[in-house]
Amino acid sequence: MADHPEHPMIEDGIFLGYDKNVPLKNEGLGRLLAYLVSGWVKLPDRKLTIACPYWLVKDLQALLLDHGVASESYQLLRTSEPWWRKIQLRLKEYERNIRPGVHRIRARLRGESPPAIDSTHRTWFERIFLIDPQRLANAKSWQSGLLETLKLLVFVALIFWLLRVLWPVILILLVVFVAYRAWRKYRKKNKAELPANAKPINVKKVLRKQKRRHKRYVQEVGQLIKQINEQQQVRHWLVPTPFWPEANRIEHAKSIVCPDLVLQQFPLRFSDPSTEPIYARILDTLQNAQKLICYSDAIRTHQLVEGVGLSPEQIDVIGHGRVELGEFLKLGKSVPDQNTQKQIALEFLRSYQRTSLADDPYWSRFAWDKSTFVFYSSQARGQKNILSLLRAIEILRHRSNIPIRLVLTCERSAGSDLDLFITDHRLDAWVLFAPGVSNQVLASLYCWASLAVNPTLFEGGFPFTFTEAYSVGTPSLLSDIPMVREKIVESNLKDRMVFDPLDPQDLANKILWGVEHREELIDAQQGLFDGIPKWEMVAKCYSDSLRRLSK
C-alpha cells in the first residue's frame, strides 16, 4: 500500500543486544518481544525495523514466526557475518551435501545393502563422483552405460594417481588422525573415571574464553550501533530490556524498557557473585537513559524512583496486552465452539502423552478429561514461589475429597528444593513437570486445567498467565502482590481470586473453593479480561511514547 503524502509511514526501531546461546523461545522477555512485535506490525501507519547481531537472526525469525509474524512484515538491520563464520557455514552445507553419499559408501564397505539412490534428489557430489553399479548393470542405452563406465575409470585413475604422488602426505595424515583419535579416547576415559565434583577446571582457560567472548560481543554490538547511527531513516528506537548499557550510545531518540528489578527486590535470592556485574550493567543503563517505560506504577514508584533515584517524569507506564491462546486450538481458520476446542485440546494432550510421557508410570495413563489438576506456566526461579504451590498440593492431598494434581512447565533439576520436596513427600504421582512444550500443548494444558494458579512473589507483567488461561475458558488465582492489586480493585473479585503467596494454607483453601466454583469464578473475571488491551493498542502506546521524545 502506497504511503499517502498527508499520512506518511511512521518509522520505529527495536534494538536487540542478546549474546549468543540465549534461548529466546524459552525466555519470558523473548515471548514479550514477540507479542509486542506481533501487535506493532499490524498497525497500518507504522513501519518497524529490528536491529540485532548476526547470531540472533535465525532464532529471532523463528520466534516471531511461531507467533504469526512473517519476516516480510518488518525490516532487519543486522551486522554481517565474519569471514570465518561464512567458511564454517559453507563447510556445514558441504557436509550436508556429501553425507548421503558417504553413508552409501560405508554401507557397501560393510557388505550391507546401501540405501536406494533417488536420481531426482541426488546431490552434485553424488552425481559426479558416485557410481551406481546397479544402474551400470541394468543400463538400457549405451550412452548411460558409457557414462557410468567412464566415471568408474576416472575415479579409479584418480585414486591411483593420488596414492602414487601424494602417498607420503596421506600416510602422515593417517598417522596423525589415528594418534589424535587415540589421544581423545584416552582423555575421555580419564575424565569419565573422575567424579563430577573432582573434575579439574582450568580457571585461566575459562577466563580467557570469557574475555574473548566479551570482546567479540562488544565489537559486534559496537558495529551494530554504528550502523544505527549512520542511517537516518529510523530516528526512534526502543530497547526492550535494561541489560545493554551499550544502547545508550545510540544517538537517535531512544526509550529503554525496564520490566522489573527482581535483583533489587530479592537480593538474598540472587546473592551469587556473578549477579553483581549484571546489576551494575542494569543501573548503568537506567541512570543514563533518556526515557524509560515500565509496566506498573509499583515498578515506577518503588523501584525506579525510590530505589534507583530516577525522576518520575522520565518514566512512562504502559501495561501489557492480553495473550490469547485460542488460535492454537483451531482446525483451519474458523473459530471452534468451546466443546470442539476442548476436544482438539484433548487430542493434543493425548499425543503429547504418547510421545513424551510414555515412560512415566503415573502420567502416561492420566485421564485429562476425567481428572482435576491446576496449572502453572513458569520457570523455576526463587521469586516464582513454586514451593508454596507444592505445599498447598500436599495439604489438599490429605484434606480434600477431590484428588487435585499439579502440572508445571519448569524443569525438575536434580537436588533442587522442588525435587527434594517432591521426593520427601512422594508427590511424583501428583506433580507433572512438562518443560519445553509447544504452543498447542501449552494451550491444551490451560484449556483442561480446572484452575491456573500464579503464586509468584514478584512479577512485572501481571496479565500473562491470567489472559492465557481465560482465553481458553479457564479461571485464575493470583497472588496478592502490588502489580495485581493495581488491576483488581473490586473487593468482591479480589476476595475470590487473590491469595497470600506466603501462606500455603490460604492457597489450598482458594484452590479448593475455585475448583468447586469454577464457573462462578470465570464469570466474575470477564470484566477484568475485557479491560486488558490487545497488543496492537500496546504497540501504539509504545510508538507514541517514542514520538514524545522528540518534542
Question: Over the stretch 481-512, which tens digit does the pLDDT of each residue have?
Answer: 888 888 888 888 889 999 999 999 999 999 99
Assigned superfamily of 10-78+220-317: Glycogen Phosphorylase B; (3.40.50.2000)
Which of the four pLDDT bands, split at 50, 70 and 90, describes residue 522? very high
Query: Rg of the Cα trace of the chain?
Result: 29
pLDDT at site 4: 46
| In contact, 12 and 236? CB cutoff 8 Å | yes
* Per-residue pLDDT at 401: 84
274 or 24: whose pLDDT is higher? 24
Check: CB of residue 48 under 8 Å from CB of residue 12: yes
The residue extents of the domains of the chain are 10-78+220-317, 326-532
CA-based end-to-end distance of the chain: 29
Question: 135 pLDDT exceeds 70?
Answer: no
For 32, the 3-state DSSP assignment is: helix
Q: Yes or no: say if 272 and 308 are a contact pair by the CB < 8 Å rule.
A: no
CA distance 353 to 338: 22
Neighbours of 304 (CB within 10 A): 23
Q: Looking at residue 534, what is its pLDDT?
A: 92
User: What mean pLDDT value characterizes the chain?
Assistant: 82
DSSP string, 335-397: PP-HHHHHHHHHHHHHHHHHHHSTT-TTGGG--GGGSEEEEE-----GGG-HHHHHHHHHHHH
Is the pLDDT assigned to residue 124 strictly greater than 50?
no
Beta-carbon contacts of residue 323 (< 8 Å; ≥ 6 apart): 35, 463, 464, 467, 468, 471
Give the tens place of pLDDT for each residue, 241-273. Answer: 888 888 889 999 899 988 777 666 655 555 555
Residues 6+ apart with CB under 8 A from 456: 378, 383, 384, 385, 479, 481, 501
Answer yes or no: are the C-beta atoms of 445 and 348 closer than 8 Å: no
pLDDT average, residue stretch 290-313: 86
Nearest by Cα to 478 from 378, 399, 409: 378
- Which phi and psi angles does 164 have, rounded to 5°? -75, -40
C-beta of residue 300 within 8 angstroms of C-beta of residue 317: yes
**DSSP class of 42:** T
Instruction: Report, as an integer, the average pLDDT of 423-447.
Output: 92
Q: Does residue 379 surpass a pLDDT of 90?
A: no
Rounded (5°) CA angle 510-516-517? 85
Q: Which fold has domain 326-532?
A: Rossmann fold (3.40.50)
Per-residue pLDDT tens over the stretch 437-471: 888 999 999 999 999 999 988 765 578 899 999 99
Distances (CA, A) of 224 to 14, 53, 174: 12, 7, 44
Residue 502 identity: L
Please state the rounded mean pLDDT for residues 383-409.
91
Say yes or no: do domains 10-78+220-317 and 326-532 share a fold: yes
pLDDT at 336 over 70: yes
**pTM score > 0.85 for this model?**
no
